[in-house]
Amino acid sequence: MKDNNFKAILFDLDGTLLDSLRDLSECANTAIATKGFATHPVTSYKVFVGDGVHALIKRACPQGTTESVINECIELMKKNYTQNWSKHSTLYSGIAELLTRCRELNISLNILSNKPDAFCEKIANHFLSDWEFDLIRGALDEFPLKPDPSSAIDIIEKSNFSAEEWLYIGDTDTDMKTALSANLKAIGVSWGFRTREELIQNGASHVINSPLELLDLF
């Protein structure tokens, strides 16, 4: 699957670079438990996360929960996560080696996440400071969340590369849909939060099983 035209990568964050599921699930469970709602096992959060904090909490709350209660839980979740975001989270095995090799190949490294933008920057400064990223972007008021492609398209237009020179790397259907809508080549990762089948069904041209497999494209 080698193709020497790729010069830039747009990574998703959670489930792609960062294994953050335990911290996300514990913080969300703590928030919804304050309302007397049943909590969920960590594995359930694999399908809850990926579309922003509102979608996460709405999925974790019982069906029919009012918007006002959902918003209260969101604020509690944010407070919990602000205090515990790095308690268990870590880079996936092989990510450090991949990023180092990409920089050696002069590949532009970039991140697009549905996490709040300021928090993405904070997480990147903690976990990814050993590597130079050209752009790190989370959720901004001026752009809809993924899978809307607007933010991805804006990133590409502000770069020195055409869409054909970018790879989009992610772990959910949201990521694959974003990539295709932005006319980017979509690469799924099997180590993240969702299944290989979901990634393929939503447009992944390849699904890689370890980070260093990505180097076969360059």
200 and 136 within one domain: yes
109 and 58 within one domain: no
Domain count along the chain: 2
Confidence band (pLDDT; 50, 70, 90) for 4? low
For 29, 51, 78, the CA distances from 56, given in Å and listed in that order, are 11, 7, 12
25 and 12 within one domain: no
Residue 162 within any structural domain of the chain? yes
Confidence band (pLDDT; 50, 70, 90) for 5? confident
175 and 112 within one domain: yes
207 and 176 within one domain: yes
101 and 66 within one domain: no
Domain boundary among 39, 60, 84: 84
- The whole domain housing 54 covers 21-84
Position 2 pLDDT exceeds 80: no
71 and 96 within one domain: no
pLDDT recorded at residue 196: 97
Query: Hey, what long-range contacts does 187-195 have (CB within 8 A, 24 or more apart)?
Result: 187/214, 187/217, 189/15, 189/16, 191/92, 192/15, 192/16, 193/14, 193/15, 193/21, 193/45, 193/46, 193/47, 193/49, 193/50, 194/15, 194/46, 194/47, 194/50
Residue 133 within any structural domain of the chain? yes
pLDDT in tens, 146-176: 999 999 999 999 999 999 999 999 999 999 9
97 and 80 within one domain: no
193-198: average pLDDT: 97
Tokens in use for 69? 């209660």
187: enclosing H helix or E strand: strand 185-189
pTM of the model: 0.94
73 and 95 within one domain: no
Position 193 pLDDT exceeds 80: yes
List, edge to edge, every strand of the sheet that includes 135-139: 135-139, 108-116, 8-11, 166-170, 185-189, 206-208
27 and 126 within one domain: no
Residue 134 within any structural domain of the chain? yes
Q: Cβ distance 188 to 168 under 8 Å?
A: no
81-103: average pLDDT: 97
Domain boundary among 32, 49, 84: 84
Q: Cβ distance 62 to 40 under 8 Å?
A: no
Position 70 pLDDT exceeds 80: yes
Average pLDDT, the chain: 96
168 and 112 within one domain: yes
Confidence band (pLDDT; 50, 70, 90) for 203? very high
pLDDT recorded at residue 211: 98
Confidence band (pLDDT; 50, 70, 90) for 9? very high
CATH number of residue 79's parent domain: 1.10.150
184-204: average pLDDT: 97
pLDDT in tens, 31-65: 999 999 999 999 999 999 999 999 999 999 999 99
CATH number of residue 152's parent domain: 3.40.50.1000
Q: Which residues pair with 186 in a beta bridge?
A: 168
DSSP helix/strand/coil, 25: helix
100 and 52 within one domain: no
